[in-house]
Structure 1
C-alpha cells in the first residue's frame, strides 16, 4: 500500500524495459535499426504523455523526475532579490529545496500558504499572500502528506488575474484521476512515472505552456537541445519545443516502459479508477475512525480526497506501527513527518481484503499496546 512512493510495474512494463535493453544488447545502441526503434519508443512516450495530460507533444519535456522538472522552471526565471514565490506548508522536500536554495543564493522571498481541508479557506488565504513582488506560485496538485486535492483550477484563475504563472507538482495526481491541463489552466506541470502511472524509476514529465518557451532561460543545455549547430561559426538554434530541455545521453528503454505504464493505466479508465478508489478510501477512513486512539489527517470529503490516507495513533509512533504492520502482516506504508503519522496508498488494484488486513493489523497492534499499558 505504498503506490504514492513507488508503484508496482505490471509485466507489460517490465517486458518493454527488458525488450529495449535486449535490442541494445543484441546489436548495440548505435545500430541503425536499434536507434530507430528506440527513437520511436521515446517519441511515443512523449505522445502518450501529451494525450494523457491533454496538451500538445511540443509542450512536453521528458525528464527524470518531478524534482528535475521543478528545478528547470526554478532556473528559468531571472530572479532578483526581493522577488517572491508562494508555496504551501505541505510540499514535498523537492517542492521546498529549489526555492530555499534561491532564497539563499538570490535573495528570493518565500511566502507560505497554510492549507486546510476547505477549498474556500485555501483560496481566501491565497488572496492575502499576493504582493507586487509575487513572481510565481509553486504548489502541489495533490499533497504528498495527506492526499488533499487542491482547487488548482480556481488557484490558476486567481493567480492569472494578477499576471502570475503557476507551477503544479503533479506527482500524486497523475494516474489517480483524469488530469487535463488546458482545463486546469496552469503554466507548468511536473509529474513522474514511477508512482501512480506504474512506470520505472527515473522517468518524469514536464509541461511548459507554449507561451513560456521563449521566455524561460535554459538553466542547462547540451547535445539534443539544438535544432542546428554550425561547426564553423559556432552558432546554434534551439529546438522550438519543450524538447530543448532534453540534453545529453538518456536511458531510452526507461521511456519505452513509461509508455507501457501509461497505456496500462489508461486502459483501466481513469474515471472508473477514481470512483473505485474514492469509495475504498472513504470506507478505510470511516473504519480507521472507529479504532480507539486513531486520528485521520486526510480529508473526509470525497471531493477533496484521493487514494492517499494519512493517520496517526495516540498509542504508538508511526514508524513503530509501520514496522509491526510489515513484520506481521506484510502491509507496507510510509511514515509522514508533518503531520506525524502513517500514510497508505489505495490504488485501483488494491483489494478490499488487503484493506481489511490493514485494519485488523492496526486494531491488534493498538489493543496489544493498550493492554501492555493497562489501558
Structure 2
C-alpha cells in the first residue's frame, strides 16, 4: 500500500470487524489476515516435525527476521533486541537488572499504566528505593512538565521510567526533553512504548532513552504473548540480567565456570520462544511498514481530532486532554456528566456494539482510533453518547461486570 493510506483496503484485511465497531486497539488490536496466516503457517510447520532440519532452518529464519524487523522499526541494531512475553515482563527485566539499592530514586509520572506503576511500588517495598511521581495533568504544557521533572532530580536519581504515550488520555509525553534532563543528571531512561509503537514512527535515537519496551498485540496488530525490549548497546556489557537462561552464557561448566555473554540483548530471553508468535510479529511489523507509519499516524490523529470535536460539542460531555496536533495520538478519553464511566463503556456496547475501554482512575471512557476506523464509526459513537445524555444508560448492562474482570485478568 502507498503512503496515501487506503482505508477500505486496510479494513478488508480484518474479517473480524464485521458487525463490530472496534475502538479498543490500545488494549488489544484485532488481527489482520496476514498476521493470522503467518501464525497458522508457522504452527502447522512445527506440528509435524518441529526439530527436522528443514523445519529448524525455517524457525531460525523467522527468529532472525523478527529481530531484524523490530530493530529496523526502532532504528536500532538487532543485537539490542530481546523478545519477552509482554511489556510488563520487559519492564521488570530492566528494573531487576539495575542493582537498585535502598535510598536510590526512581522517577515516574502520574499518567502510568498499572503495568509500570505496580512494579515500581513492588521494587520500593522489596528494595527500599524511593519512587517519586511527576504530576502530568492532561492539559499541562511540555515545558512545565520538564521543569517539574528537573525539580525532582537529585543525586540518588537512578531511573526515569515513563510512557511515550499516556494510556489514559493519549497525551504524547515530551520524552526526548525529559530524557535529556535525566541523562544530564546521570539517570537512565526506561520508556514504555505500548501506546506508540505501531501507530506512529518511534526512533530510540530521537527519544534519547536507554531502554524501550512494547508489545506486539496493540497498535502493531500482532499476536498476544510476544513483546520486545530494546537495550542501548553500550549498556549490554555493563548490565547482567536478574534471571538466567542458556543465552546468558558464552561458555559454562559445572561446578564453577560461567563466562557471560555480553554482546547481545538476547541474554534477557529465557528458554524456548514461540516461533509462531514471532512469525505473527514479523508479519505485523511488515504490514505497518508497508502501510507507512507516517500515514498511520496521520490517520489516527485525524480520527482522534474528529472524535474530540464531535464529543466536545455534546452538552455534559468532557473530553480529557487536548488536541496537540502532530504531538497527539489516536487515543481519546471522555466523561459523561452524571453517568459512571463503566456504564458509558457498557452502554456503547449494548446499544451499538462499540468496543471501547473504561479508564477507572480517570473516570473516563477511552476510544482507541486506529487507521482502520472510520468517521462514520465516530459519528455512531457521538450519537450513542447523545442518547446516553438524554435517556441515561439502559437498565441492564451485562458487559459491565465482564469488563471489570477483564481489566484484571486479561
Task: Please tell me the TM-score bracket, short chain as reference.
Answer: over 0.9
Unpaired runs of 5+ in structure 2?
Answer: 1-22, 396-410
Match of 2:153 among 130, 145, 164: 130
| Cα distance per residue 1:148-206 (max 9 Å; x no partner) | 10111111111111121100000001011100111211100011100000000011111
Partner of 1:95: 116
Match of 1:142 among 165, 173, 181: 165
Conservation of the 8 A alpha-carbon contact between 1:13 and 1:258: yes
Separation (CA, whole Å) in 2 of partners of 1:150 and 1:67: 20
Separation (CA, whole Å) in 2 of partners of 1:364 and 1:226: 62
Partner of 1:24: 46
Superposed displacement of residue 229, structure 1 = 3.1
Superposed displacement of residue 216, structure 1 = 1.6
Aligned pairs for 1:342-357 (under 5 A) are: 342-357=365-380
User: How many corresponding residue pairs?
Assistant: 371
Match of 1:44 among 65, 68, 88: 65
With over 3 angstroms needed to count, the CA separation of the structure-2 counterparts of 1:351 and 1:51, relative to structure 1, is same
Match of 2:84 among 63, 70, 79: 63
Partner of 1:315: 338
Q: Does 1:358 align with 2:381?
A: yes
Separation (CA, whole Å) in 2 of partners of 1:131 and 1:369: 50
Separation (CA, whole Å) in 1 of partners of 2:127 and 2:148: 26
Partner of 1:204: 227
Match of 2:103 among 76, 82, 100: 82
Separation (CA, whole Å) in 2 of partners of 1:235 and 1:130: 38
Conservation of the 8 A alpha-carbon contact between 2:69 and 2:282: yes
Root-mean-square deviation (CA, aligned residues, Å) is: 1.7
Separation (CA, whole Å) in 2 of partners of 1:106 and 1:45: 35
Unpaired runs of 5+ in structure 1?
Answer: none
Conservation of the 8 A alpha-carbon contact between 2:107 and 2:131: yes
| Cα distance per residue 1:71-126 (max 9 Å; x no partner) | 01101111111110001011111111221111111101010000033101111110
Match of 2:270 among 247, 251, 274: 247
Separation (CA, whole Å) in 1 of partners of 2:85 and 2:266: 14
Conservation of the 8 A alpha-carbon contact between 2:341 and 2:360: no
Match of 1:285 among 308, 313, 336: 308
Superposed displacement of residue 234, structure 1 = 4.0
- Secondary structure of residue in 1 paired with 2:313: coil
Partner of 2:323: 300
